[in-house]
A and B are shown apart, each in its own frame.
Chain A
């Protein structure tokens, strides 16, 4: 049998069952002492640039906090007592949304949003639960408040003059809070003048055209009368400029561009019939590679955000995201509502348009040649526009040829990457002129100028972005224990036919921290990146920087990997967002270190030391070594693959108690694309905890990369071969080794197990050689009287393909066999 382990093939991932059986698992980093902190609340959730403010943090495992860290440059933090910190915000900090992390001796927390504004701020003070007890607020101030108990409501009063347009805006969900805010405004007689339950998504906005000089009252409450410390909000009441959207929403990179900003109280603007101010102005070329964007970015916006910047009008507290492109920008000419009046565009083009009317449809005409491949991609929901776009390519008469589907594939779990924007590939059937139409499926009856869209028409210009997230199910951060490892999920957003492999590498790692390259193989959109810390690594906080490079050099330059977090756990209403960067904390000590490597050689009785060559239709053996901090306690260790490409069936194995080495083997299916992949192995066992007792421990190995090369033949066992034999029995196993890719050489097949050929304890098999065109045969196998009983799942047939007497190719397949008395 293979050395030091028993293995079991299992197509189902058994982790849930295991976890249920033994209780809650903890990561290896947390066994020795407390787990990393989780930050639920930072209150107030923002502050004014140029001010020093005191914030209180809430969450779990925050006892050992030392500092807060903000993604805005030069924000300084000082502890100010239990759970309190003083933040000094430089006056030059651009306003917007930033991230704030809590760091302590137990590690770093996942982030919470923190807003830096330009207006004076105040904190809501109770009691203000009644109109008569409304807190006074000056115009153009921001109030940070929270509804701490169910049924709570907060009242504020302000004075305004007739003719003023007062914007009352509440930020709740956009700053990671749980509040679903309802805003109401009343006059001094108690008459309700307006109510809003969602304008920017579910966060409300009221535009109050002040009817008379006087005092007005605002109420903030939760839609379902909820309340908790996490029901916090920022309420801005004022008359300062507020930009809602821009047209175009995409500009050419490196050039000054003329754009129209739409919003309210924009100085020098004209007011449109729809009630928006419109301000036309020229904006300078955007700075290259601006990141992070001080704005809320959802996972589906990953590709868009990487090519965007935020333009902020002086005097306004928030900017408007605008995309950058290398292609010419075309603006919807507003006279293209029929196929006959289609607007002509060149390819490539980036179009910026507007579907104000509910049933509006914009048409564009382009020429294409037979066989030409074009990629169409619409942007609507990802721009924050209240649209659900439909995108169709039609012939010249307007007859629909293809309609593209929404991106319904979610590769990120709770970090949801699916969206409503359609995209697709189209092959031109014949030379000629074609049309592409864009319409909004949720237009309804009302007119809404906010319904802007983007449309990209490109040839096969491949592109991609990679986002790394600590966990796809719950809020988490990157905490690496000394002597241990931590993982990040890598998500590949492939565009315009990019299907090749992607390599992700770390840059500028701190001393004692390692992060081998991780590979997203061809067509693979999820993989695991493993960060390791040496036992001697110094505790502290640094930053992980990753770069992603296309494996085939089709895209010369590497792309910075963006990061994300899950904000709210739980299916199906959990959600995530992009974050500005990924802090890396080294803390604690790991009770377990798992190391994995791909078996590279194999001793063969005929060919000597074989250099293993993996190809579709072979079995990949991964050797796993366990190092226990407490060597006296050597409980059994259960192994399972993690971060596998989706087409590879997962496996489990057990390292018996007292042993420290085992194997996990994976069959590389015949349809696996040639390329480089990576995976890791997760170990689950028990280990002593500080203070006595045992805990379940889960640890992940280093990532191992393996190269899959073209195959020369495919080995398959007869599906009717015997599966259950008795000790002492001799039987024949029929199999085939079908040559592929023109291979004509000799094939030699033997019985094998991880690390062993032929000499398998208790099982004797006589090898067989095929020459010429032979591709079917059978092996005679004898089960010894002392053969181990039970399933022998990692047993396989191993075939060596010989070229000019040199063992060159390998192929293998499982031989599931159970031995009984």
Chain B
């Protein structure tokens, strides 16, 4: 008796159906290619899916989070968010739905182009002009038989934006050029295929062709260009002065300022930005104000009247530096910055405030404070936390694992607390505005794949005084590919 199987979900054929449809598609396609003179032209440039087609889909917004790039897709058609997974997109575009989206025998009759140009109803409206380069490239790719990404396809290595920075007057324009550099050494102007975004449109905005226009506001602006997985940035300064004479006057006054104390690097960068923006700094704070500010900033407290009096009476020229050094030695400095770090490391009172848990919270807080007081190098500080093991009742940094308990928490806490980047997006898809892929995310997760816990007890429903140890085994798998991930830090190919 034949078992009745449920039909595949609408628009989501199962693997067997996809295979059959794909074979049928390629059979039709092979027949159609043989009779298509356009495809037979051997001198037609090869259109690569990953580096030529996908960026157009991105540029047109097809794979945006509000359209086919969202997790559930749109009307049965789903692409990877912003085209970060070309293999997935190729399957969706070419193989899914029995290959109905492309028609190599008559490329202009392909559903992809008909929808994009609005010739058949399209929920996303008309996105593509028939006479545009984008249309031409898509049509050509279809006409070539919609070739799949190949192992020997040239790879996008980086993109470059020129100019990289500029000082622009208000109400002015500058054209950006985005150049893609490929693994075979070739380059291509992808300005029109790149997505360009301004971080301060009120200061300067950018259009689809890469032309930057400044407005009436002065300030700093960054224009990010994205093509494929690569990013590049153009930085512009729009001065607060209105003409060259004023700029010269400001810069002359800046040149007259005394050099930064002790050649401070930060001060050098700050001055450089003043020059670009044409701004003059406020005058130096008086001694009492400086003392108040610096004491608050470093120690989180106000100076005592005696300290104020002593500082005001001090006539040494380097008294600011001496004061700062002294403040850095004070226990209040360690306590104040330990408080900040306790927040970052989630050494919470809330949720861990019972009498049985208070010892752990206090122990970790004290360890952080001691580390800062000892001026422990940052890499050592972080290493001691991440590699902490043993009883949380005895080894303070192991208490970090009290709050940070699961794979997403390991990855996101490490990246945000210690690396200053947010990679949450890459848990489900490639980061839309960063270079973090799911492989990066789960590669970092694999670093923690063998973190084990034992012992302890649940106090107020919260595990307390666990023992953190290294398990003999434990792996992390890529949620889409199922591949076992090799542990590696963010941005590093392999863990050495």
Contacts and interface: CB of A to CB of B under 8 A. Distances in A.
A206 to B, nearest CB: 13
B63 interface: no
A386 B384 contact: no
Contacts of A573: 356, 457
B394 A224 contact: no
A223 B362 contact: yes
Given A197-B363, A390-B472, A444 B388 contact: yes
Contacts of A390: 472
Interface in B468-489: 468-472
Nearest to A390: B472
A261 B383 CA distance: 32
A195 B374 CA distance: 11
Interface in A393-431: 400, 403, 406, 420
Q: Is the interface of A mostly helix, strand, loop or mixed?
A: loop
A573 B455 CA distance: 12
In this complex, the member of A195, A403, A420, A442 whose beta carbon has the largest number of chain B beta carbons within 10 angstroms is: A442
A442 B457 contact: no
Nearest to A400: B472
A572 interface: yes
Interface residues of A, number: 25
B469 A445 contact: no
B370 A195 contact: yes
Nearest to B452: A441
A442 B393 contact: no
A443 B468 CA distance: 11
Interface in A199-229: 201-202, 223-224
Contacts of A400: 472
A223 B389 contact: no
A198 interface: yes
Contacts of B384: 444-445
Nearest to A572: B457
Contacts of A182: 366
Nearest to A387: B390
A180 interface: yes
B387 interface: yes
Nearest to B470: A441
Contacts of A388: 389-390, 454, 467, 469
Contacts of B363: 197, 223
B469 A197 contact: no
Nearest to A388: B469
> What is the interface residue range for chain B against chain A?
20 to 34
A406 B454 contact: yes
Nearest to A408: B454
A572 B470 CA distance: 25
B359 A224 contact: yes
Contacts of B373: 192
A444 B373 CA distance: 23
Given A182-B366, A202-B394, A223 B467 contact: no
Interface string A418-457: 0010000000000000000000011111000000000000
Nearest to A182: B366
Interface string A537-573: 0000000000000000000000000000000000011
B396 interface: yes
Nearest to B334: A192
In this complex, the member of A182, A392, A400, A441 whose beta carbon has the largest number of chain B beta carbons within 10 angstroms is: A441
B467 A442 contact: yes
A201 B394 contact: yes
Nearest to A392: B472
B457 A197 contact: no
B387 A445 contact: yes
A24 B152 CA distance: 82
Contacts of A420: 454-455, 467
Interface in B383-427: 383-384, 387-390, 393-396
Contacts of B471: 441
A389 to B, nearest CB: 10
B81 to A, nearest CB: 38
A203 to B, nearest CB: 10
A406 B468 CA distance: 14
A442 B401 CA distance: 14
Interface in A170-184: 180, 182
Contacts of B355: 224
A202 B393 contact: yes
A716 B112 CA distance: 76
A404 to B, nearest CB: 12
Contacts of A403: 472
Given A195-B370, A388-B469, A406-B454, A444 B362 contact: no
7 contacts: A192-B331, A223-B362, A224-B358, A390-B472, A442-B390, A442-B470, A443-B389
Interface of A: 180, 182, 192, 195, 197-198, 201-202, 223-224, 386, 388, 390, 392, 400, 403, 406, 420, 441-445, 572-573
5 closest residue pairs by CB, A with B: A441-B469, A572-B457, A442-B389, A442-B390, A224-B358
Interface of B: 331, 355-356, 358-359, 362-363, 366, 370, 373, 383-384, 387-390, 393-396, 452, 454-455, 457, 459, 467-472
